[in-house]
A and B are shown apart, each in its own frame.
Chain A
């Protein structure tokens, strides 16, 4: 029994991310962190592997910056880390991501559960998670807020999952791909020993040839990144006692036609 979790490094959410003169996305000296949503996925992978008496492996797709996220994962207690990197692979192309990730899951074999955080906080996408499930031909259970039961012998899982209008209780066959929400657990902090161990770990890198994967044609062109137009507002301060302020503000909002 094997649990696989995917992660990536992203700029700290407190970082000032902007586009420089050459059109590149930069975030100054700010650190990269594990994609915040992935912390819940990593925690759940550790818990599920322990419950199922199996192993938890963490995978990142992309360049060396993602070693930070992988080392953090190892320090938390994941058993193994793998990075998939290849000059042909653009991990921001979701179809390519899903195709390479599916090949990696198949190569590992014996995988019952793949876990993702609900989205990447940087590029704001979750489509790679759904695409991976389809490429594997597995069930997708998205926005899981609670795992109610798992039976790794009978290969069944029961979860609570969310969408905007409410919460479903769903039973499903395994293997499955799940994406998890903040509500699912309380991620642990890496231990001191974990950090030391992770620091020494060498992370294997798999190429597309190692995976035996051939990627679909790239269909999406990212043309440019731009800074959003600066909002030319000068704040209009409203003075007076609270009742006067309220009356003046309502006048303004009625003029703006937003009420």
Chain B
């Protein structure tokens, strides 16, 4: 009996949040009285196995087959499904990134198993695993449960909702190398090319997010002659030259409201809210964002919220811990300068 934890990797490194799954498993493994097996597939998996031990894995199953080098769900799921059928773990857990959700759902379907997703709280009651998960982009919380007595329960946890274990440098784990299940000839897909994301910090991994909304268009700078849409130019200049420097000094990710994305100020990848990313950073700084309900739903679980807005009546102030009524184009540069001084950067 065991709890399986899938450690997501990219180019031979563990993804930043993936050790959180080993942290969350402690609740589970203690509750269910089992040990913990980390699963690491792909490039460099053997070296990562020792890192997994330091984060709390008792055992590690690795597979470094060439079919697992590029991310292809059919190759990964074939192996995970086989391991689940052979070992019958009580729980398979991973941090709910897009790859993890796809992989775990695929194996859950293969084995007709329960799947609980996006857990922000986790508990064990006898053989039952209970979770709390946000639905309607966090406007509502849903309590759900599945019984490990009825078979393996697949579980994804929300990134940043659980803390990784403290590192135990002396720990080691028993490592088993397994073969892949799919062969290259049996796979339907081929990865022809890969282009890494630009952008410095991923929104869902970020401890700090600085977001800009429609107010970004109030940039006092004049656009050069011949610019088709001055508001778009002003906003884009503001993101690049006012918010990005604040992000740089804080190591923060750059976010945006839907209104700003829809107006063409910034690409969709930055959108926070119900039709964008749901985020839960330690600090969320909202600049020139009024706080539409669908934006608030996507960032309400941030630990500390700062709102900077010209309009004292903006709904964002009802959600904020700290508020500044003022021009973001004056306040943000002052804040960046102050932080540089105080953080010694």
- The distance from the CB of B143 to the nearest CB of chain A, in whole angstroms, is 4
- The distance from the CB of A219 to the nearest CB of chain B, in whole angstroms, is 3
Residue in A closest to B141 when the chains form the complex, CB atoms: A226
Contacts of B334 in A (CB 8 A): 242-243, 245-246
Does any Cβ of A come within 8 Å of B175's Cβ?
no
Pair B325/A170 contact, Cβ less than 8 Å: no
Pair A228/B140 contact, Cβ less than 8 Å: yes
A-B contact count (CB 8 A): 255
Does any Cβ of A come within 8 Å of B124's Cβ?
no
- The distance from the CB of A214 to the nearest CB of chain B, in whole angstroms, is 12
Partner of B191, one of A140, A143, A165, A169: A169
Contacts of A237 in B (CB 8 A): 317, 322-325
Pair A249/B113 contact, Cβ less than 8 Å: no
Pair B74/A139 contact, Cβ less than 8 Å: yes
Does any Cβ of B come within 8 Å of A55's Cβ?
no
Does any Cβ of A come within 8 Å of B167's Cβ?
no
Pair A183/B300 contact, Cβ less than 8 Å: no
Residue in A closest to B325 when the chains form the complex, CB atoms: A237
Mostly helix, strand, loop or mixed at chain B's interface? mixed
Count of interface residues, chain B, beta-carbon cutoff 8 Å: 96
Which of B19-27, B48-56, B131-139, B217-225 is found at the contact surface with chain A?
Answer: B131-139
- The distance from the CB of B224 to the nearest CB of chain A, in whole angstroms, is 27
Contacts of B145 in A (CB 8 A): 220-221, 223
Q: Mark B225-265, 1 if CB is under 8 A from A, else 0.
A: 00000000000000000000000001000000000000000
Does any Cβ of B come within 8 Å of A254's Cβ?
yes
Given contacts A221-B145, A246-B335, A254-B342, contact A170 B98 (CB under 8 A): no
Contacts of B72 in A (CB 8 A): 170
Mostly helix, strand, loop or mixed at chain A's interface? mixed
Contacts of A133 in B (CB 8 A): 106
Pair A219/B70 contact, Cβ less than 8 Å: no
Pair A140/B109 contact, Cβ less than 8 Å: no
Residue in A closest to B138 when the chains form the complex, CB atoms: A228
* Cα–Cα, bound, A64→B127 (Å): 37
Count of interface residues, chain A, beta-carbon cutoff 8 Å: 80
Residue in A closest to B139 when the chains form the complex, CB atoms: A17
Give chain A interface residues in 1-23, CB to chain B under 8 Å. Answer: 11, 13-19
Pair A134/B189 contact, Cβ less than 8 Å: no
Contacts of B67 in A (CB 8 A): none
Pair A221/B144 contact, Cβ less than 8 Å: yes
Q: Mark B299-340, 1 if CB is under 8 A from A, else 0.
A: 010011011000000000111111111110011011101110
- The distance from the CB of B20 to the nearest CB of chain A, in whole angstroms, is 15
Pair B140/A226 contact, Cβ less than 8 Å: yes
Q: Mark A10-45, 1 if CB is under 8 A from B, else 0.
A: 010111111100000100000000001100000000
Which of A37, A233, A245 has its CB near the most chain B CB atoms (within 10 A)? A245
Which of A226, A237, A258 has its CB near the most chain B CB atoms (within 10 A)? A258
Partner of A250, one of B113, B194, B335: B335
- The distance from the CB of A60 to the nearest CB of chain B, in whole angstroms, is 19
Does any Cβ of A come within 8 Å of B169's Cβ?
no
Does any Cβ of A come within 8 Å of B86's Cβ?
no
Pair B190/A171 contact, Cβ less than 8 Å: yes
- The distance from the CB of A126 to the nearest CB of chain B, in whole angstroms, is 6
Does any Cβ of B come within 8 Å of A110's Cβ?
no
* Cα–Cα, bound, A254→B341 (Å): 13
Does any Cβ of A come within 8 Å of B150's Cβ?
yes
- The distance from the CB of A141 to the nearest CB of chain B, in whole angstroms, is 7
Contacts of B189 in A (CB 8 A): 139, 141, 170-173
Which of A70-78, A117-125, A186-194, A196-204 is found at the contact surface with chain B?
Answer: A117-125
Contacts of B136 in A (CB 8 A): 11, 17, 25, 122-124
Pair B194/A168 contact, Cβ less than 8 Å: yes
Does any Cβ of B come within 8 Å of A153's Cβ?
no
- The distance from the CB of A78 to the nearest CB of chain B, in whole angstroms, is 22
- The distance from the CB of B34 to the nearest CB of chain A, in whole angstroms, is 19
Pair B142/A163 contact, Cβ less than 8 Å: no
Contacts of B180 in A (CB 8 A): none
- The distance from the CB of B276 to the nearest CB of chain A, in whole angstroms, is 9
Contacts of B324 in A (CB 8 A): 237-238, 245, 249
* Cα–Cα, bound, A143→B102 (Å): 10
* Cα–Cα, bound, A143→B320 (Å): 33
Partner of A165, one of B112, B114, B197: B197
Which of B37-45, B57-65, B115-123 is found at the contact surface with chain A?
Answer: B115-123
Pair B102/A220 contact, Cβ less than 8 Å: no
Contacts of A235 in B (CB 8 A): 307, 317-318, 320-323
Give 4 A-B pairs besides A127-B115, A165-B197, A231-B300 with Cβ atoms closer than 8 angstroms: A36-B275, A95-B108, A131-B109, A246-B338
Q: Which residues of B come within 8 Å of A, CB atoms?
A: 10-11, 15, 70-74, 77, 97-99, 101-102, 104-106, 108-110, 112-118, 130, 133-147, 150-151, 153, 188-197, 202, 204, 207-208, 250, 268, 274-275, 278, 282-283, 292-294, 300, 303-304, 306-307, 317-327, 330-331, 333-335, 337-339, 342-343
The contact sample of 11 A-B pairs, CB cut-off 8 A, is A11-B136, A13-B294, A14-B294, A95-B108, A127-B115, A131-B108, A164-B202, A168-B192, A219-B114, A219-B146, A237-B325
